[in-house]
Amino acid sequence: MVRATFEEAVTPEWVGVNITDRNHELVVLRQIIPWEKIVRRLTQFYNKTQGAVGKSLRMMTAILITSRFYKLSDRNIVKQIKENRYIQYFCNVPDEKLQTFLNYSSICVFRKRIGDKGIEIIEKEVFEVLRRAGVLRGEDALIDSTVLASDIIYPNDVQLICKAFKKMRSFAKFHNIPLWWDDKLLREMWREFGLDRKGSRAAWLIRFNEIFIPALKIFQAKADSLRSPGKRKNKAVKLLKLLNLLKVQTLQKLAGETHIKDRIVSLDDPDARPIKRGKSHPDCEFGTTIQMSFNRQGFMITAENFIGNPNDKTLYFDTLSLYINRTKGCPDTAVTDLGSRSRSNFKKTPGEVSHVFLGRSTDVLGEEKRDFCRKARSATEGFIAVAKNLRGFGKSLWHTLKGHRMWSLLCQTAYNLKKFLQLYYEEKIKEKELSKLGLA
């Protein structure tokens, strides 16, 4: 169960004493975020009649936003709430039991409960507030894709097999099953492999694979005979499927194949893929593709994650359609690079879009408009650079496509709030728009 409403945790007197800077970024954001709507919509992820009463949704939502806003871990955001009055105020945490108000592990539990659908609600409500106020406009669509890197070590084939044994070792320990391979020999081989820097990787892979294949066969028999509850059985079956795919791909590698479909680069993040984007550095990245769109102000309108490296030509129209749906209107100009250029995309672009720039100046008429599109294209690279280097899109710390999606949505929320604050402090937001946000 969870409460569908919340109360202010601090009194006006407390605010007067502790919140001395009324123009602080968290004080400003606290006023514009629609807490009531978010809390009401997140109650759908809880049982209405059973279970203990959960933590305040108002507090947990604010913690998720703040953790990405300041790029803090679960441990550090809890620590900062205890030490920083402005973060405490933003997260609506009372002084009573401040030192024991939350264990950091509860944040992970909350994320798992609401999942990507719940975080999508948070992002959408924040986005809609800015759009309805007129702060966020959609006159021009700037579209491009990049790589959202996974938090994994640089992969190699022998390391993947050793990781597979580590997974099977955890399975055996959890179910009180003795190991069915020579674990001492495996550890000795791993140490020798690490010291043999000039040795043949293929020869080492053959040696490890000779141990892995019979061990996997026995693991399959043990997983099939498992008499555990549904979740444990499903977890074992999922692991078995992943290890069988690793076996097939290892044999393909040993057979000399260089291009292997759906290549596994991590057993912890099975949705990560090796992705080459045609850049000199890094030559190859490991993660998922993220397609982004921005307006000319720099607000991030859409951020969609994909496994592997889909062709930009196939992503363009869906991204533009989503842009139109989110901004509630067609942009005057659509700007992207040559990767999205195709006759089909020119034809599918709605007629209401007056100017379509797919990487070439000749796509639009008039020197003034061409100059605008070239500058917009350059700005897109700048927006992506800011997103990757300053706003958390450089690397996702959560695994699987669902984890990357959740990471992207929270980073998108933080990105747009940062952009709003930039315009707010530069006094580039109109009085009418501020009035709608309650800041006038």
Q: How confident is the model at residue 232 (pLDDT cuts 50, 70, 90)?
A: confident
Check: CB of residue 366 under 8 Å from CB of residue 358. Answer: no
Name the residue range of residue 16's domain: 12-120
Do 87 and 53 have their domain in common? yes
Do 179 and 197 have their domain in common? yes
| pLDDT on residue 227 | 79
Check: CB of residue 335 under 8 Å from CB of residue 357. Answer: yes
Do 63 and 98 have their domain in common? yes
| Least confident span in 41-55, 67-81, 202-216, 238-252 | 41-55
pLDDT at residue 228 is higher than 90:
no
pLDDT at residue 282 is higher than 80:
no
Asked, for residue 2, whether it belongs to a domain, the answer is no
Q: Write out pLDDT tens, residues 329-375.
A: 999 999 999 999 999 999 999 999 999 999 999 999 999 999 999 99
In angstroms, the CA 258 to CA 285 distance is 17
Do 143 and 179 have their domain in common? no
Q: Write out pLDDT tens, residues 381-424.
A: 999 999 999 999 999 999 999 999 999 999 999 999 999 999 99
In angstroms, the CA 231 to CA 147 distance is 32
Asked, for residue 72, whether it belongs to a domain, the answer is yes
| pLDDT on residue 233 | 87
Do 19 and 146 have their domain in common? no
| pLDDT on residue 280 | 64
pLDDT at residue 265 is higher than 70:
yes
C-alpha pair distances (Å), 419 with each of 31, 192, 300: 16, 52, 9
In angstroms, the CA 164 to CA 160 distance is 6
| pLDDT on residue 273 | 94
Asked, for residue 367, whether it belongs to a domain, the answer is yes
Q: Write out pLDDT tens, residues 294-319.
A: 999 999 999 999 999 999 999 999 99
Q: Write out pLDDT tens, residues 174-218.
A: 999 999 999 999 999 999 999 998 888 899 999 999 999 999 999
Do 148 and 224 have their domain in common? no
Do 144 and 107 have their domain in common? no
Asked, for residue 107, whether it belongs to a domain, the answer is yes
Do 168 and 80 have their domain in common? no
Structure tokens at 53: 């009463």
Q: What is the dihedral of CA 121, 393, 385, 313, to 10 degrees?
A: -70
In angstroms, the CA 358 to CA 181 distance is 57
pLDDT at residue 6 is higher than 90:
no
Asked, for residue 127, whether it belongs to a domain, the answer is no
Residues with Cβ within 8 Å of residue 332, at least 6 apart in sequence: 139, 140, 353, 354, 355
CA-based nearest residue to 269, from 351, 148, 387, 356: 148
In angstroms, the CA 232 to CA 226 distance is 9
CATH classification of the domain holding 370 = 3.30.420.10
Asked, for residue 278, whether it belongs to a domain, the answer is yes
Average of per-residue pLDDT across 312-329: 95
Average of per-residue pLDDT across 231-250: 93
Do 293 and 398 have their domain in common? yes
Asked, for residue 102, whether it belongs to a domain, the answer is yes
pLDDT at residue 376 is higher than 80:
yes
Q: How many domains does the chain have?
A: 3
| pLDDT on residue 267 | 95
Asked, for residue 310, whether it belongs to a domain, the answer is yes
Do 303 and 328 have their domain in common? yes
Q: Write out pLDDT tens, residues 114-173.
A: 999 999 999 999 999 999 999 999 999 999 999 999 999 988 999 999 999 999 999 999
β pairing state of 333-336 and 355-358: parallel
pLDDT at residue 279 is higher than 80:
no
| pLDDT on residue 258 | 83
Do 187 and 237 have their domain in common? yes
Last residue of a domain, which of 195, 224, 254?
254
Q: How confident is the model at residue 229 (pLDDT cuts 50, 70, 90)?
A: confident
Please provide residue 139's backbone torsions phi and psi, each rounded to the nearest 5 degrees.
-65, -30
Do 177 and 237 have their domain in common? yes
| pLDDT on residue 47 | 86
**pTM for this one?**
0.93
